[in-house]
Amino acid sequence: MNMMAPTAEVEGELRELSYAEAIREALDIALGEDERVILMGEDIGVYGGAFQVTGDLVHKYGEERVIDTPISELGGAGVSVGAAMCGLKPIFEFQFSDFAALAMEQIVNQAAKVRFMLGGAVSVPLVMRFPAGSGTGAAAQHSQSLEAWLGHVPGLKVVQPSTPADAKGLLLAALDDPDPVMIFEHKLLYKMKGEVPAGRYTTPIGVAAVRREGTDLTIVATSIMVHKALAAAEELAKDGIDVEVVDLRTVRPMDRDTVLASVRKTGRLLCVYEGVKTLGVGAEVSAMVAESDAFDYLDAPIVRLGGAECPIPYNPELEKAAVPQVPDILRAARQLVKAEV
């Protein structure tokens, strides 16, 4: 059963919006309802953002609330951390998630640790948005999936919306959170359309979604890989293989209960994620299952299907080969269902 409809409990009318439009709607709602909310980032003003997500919000709210920052990710991130500590609610956009490498000092050593180091006296209600992933021909320095980097850091929450409805709901939930939330938005999803409820609603952070129910195999996927997993599941159904697809949605904190319940039901686990396989999100999911009673329900070894151990190539065919595709998922799933411990 396909379960790609919005999972949040909302009453708003459903409209079809793109992933980018859903994010823009969330930003508009946030700016309109709370004067403390500001947007910051390179080219997010008149230009509308590198991926046209912020659009014309600068004309509606002005340059004091939709702020074009200089080409200095470290400086922009530092200002947003300081603004959050002083009572504002900044939403900082990186043009590409790769540029987080330039701002890691502020993200990891400041935003993630200030509340702890000051005994809870100060929080950092900061949201950072990261256009991530491959598929646009942007080569090795503009195509990475770095969510596992930030998911390793206590004090940060890390989410990966896979649908327009969750892109809006998770962003609004992030704004309600007193701690820094990192949102990784896959660039290839920006034009994808789906049903999105009108008005304000939130999608809970730390709760996975079962996008398709099944009995033979659990695929735990993130971001765009959820859609590839669903496509593979439909193909596998023709072979009589019933796949359950779990959309992790949140890398940190991870939804242990949903994942373990699914593995207990199916007895097999395939982790699919775009980031490099080694030390990636799938490694944490695998360890979580291995350290639980769900391990006793496994009928075959856990399989991880992650990105290749190389930088993302510029060549389009090599770029596709560097990250999991539907045929890769099909092959791994068929081998896994045939395997036994």
Residues 189-216 have pLDDT tens digits of 999 999 999 999 999 999 999 999 999 9
pLDDT tens, residue by residue, 119-177 = 999 999 999 999 999 999 999 999 999 999 999 999 999 999 999 999 999 999 999 99
Specify the pLDDT at position 8. 45
pLDDT tens, residue by residue, 203-253 = 999 999 999 999 999 999 999 999 999 999 999 999 999 999 999 999 999
What are the helix (H) ranges across the chain? 19-33, 57-61, 73-85, 104, 114-117, 147-151, 164-176, 224-237, 256-266, 281-290, 316-321, 326-338
One-letter identity of residue 47: Y
pLDDT band at residue 12 using 50, 70 and 90 as cut-offs? confident
Catalytic residue among 25, 42, 93, 142: 142
Residue 7: is its pLDDT beyond 50? Answer: no
What domains can be seen in the chain, in order of their start residue? 14-197 (3.40.50.970), 209-335 (3.40.50.920)
Specify the pLDDT at position 66. 97
- How many Cβ atoms are within 10 Å of 44's Cβ, its own excluded? 26
Reply yes or no on whether 227 is catalytic: no
pTM confidence score: 0.94
Half-sphere exposure of 228 (CA within 13 A, CB side): 26
Half-sphere exposure of 291 (CA within 13 A, CB side): 7
* Distance separating alpha carbons of residues 150 and 11, to the nearest angstrom: 34
| Strand arrangement of the beta sheet that strand 89-93 belongs to | 66-68, 37-41, 89-93, 127-132, 181-186, 157-159, 250-252
Reply yes or no on whether 235 is catalytic: no
Catalytic residue among 21, 73, 147, 284: 73
